[in-house]
Amino acid sequence: MALPFFISILIILIYIVIFMRRKLSFTTNSIQFMLLSIVSTNYITIMTTKLEFIRASQDVTQFISLLINRECILPLIGIIMINGYLNYGHRTHKIIFFLSLLFFITVLDVLHIHFKTLDYPQWSLLNTTIINIIYLIICIGIGKVLYHMQKKEEGSSGQNI
C-alpha cells in the first residue's frame, strides 16, 4: 500500500514543480535537486546503518517507497520550498509556507511509520520534525546561494546559467 501512495505523491509534486512560478532557472533547480538528493540520501543512510536510530523495512516494495521519498519527494519539496520562498514577499507568507511544507514532510514521516516502512527504536517523531526543520533551512540556504549565483551570471553576461 505504501508504494502506490508515494508514487502518487511523487506525480503530484512533479506537476506542482512543473507548473509553479519559479525564480530559479532550470539548471539552478537541477543543481539544487541534486544537492538535496545527496543530503537526504546521506541522512537516511547514516541514521539507518551507522547510528541505527531508524530501522528501514526489509520488504522490497516498502523499501522502494522509502527510496522514492528520500531520492525524489524530499528534493522536490526543497525545490518547492525555495521557489515559494523567493516568490513570496511578506514574512508571514514565507512562515506559513514553511510551516505547511514542514507539516507535509512530517505527515510523510507519520505515513512511513503507519505503513511500517520506518521504525524508530531510538528516535522520536519530535527529533524527526527538528531534522525536517533543519532540512528546510538547508533548502533555503542552498537556494539563496544558487539564486545569487544565477543573478550574478545574468548580470555579467545577460543570460541564465
CA atoms lying within 13 Å on the CB side of residue 32: 33
- pLDDT tens digit sequence for 119-140: 888 778 888 899 999 999 999 9
56 neighbors 118 (Cβ within 8 angstroms): yes
pLDDT band at 75 (very low <50, low <70, confident <90, very high): very high
**The model's pTM:** 0.90
| For the chain, domain boundaries | 29-157
Kindly state the percentage of the chain with pLDDT values over 90.
68
Look at residue 158 in the predicted model and tell me its pLDDT: 63
The average pLDDT across 37-43 equals 91
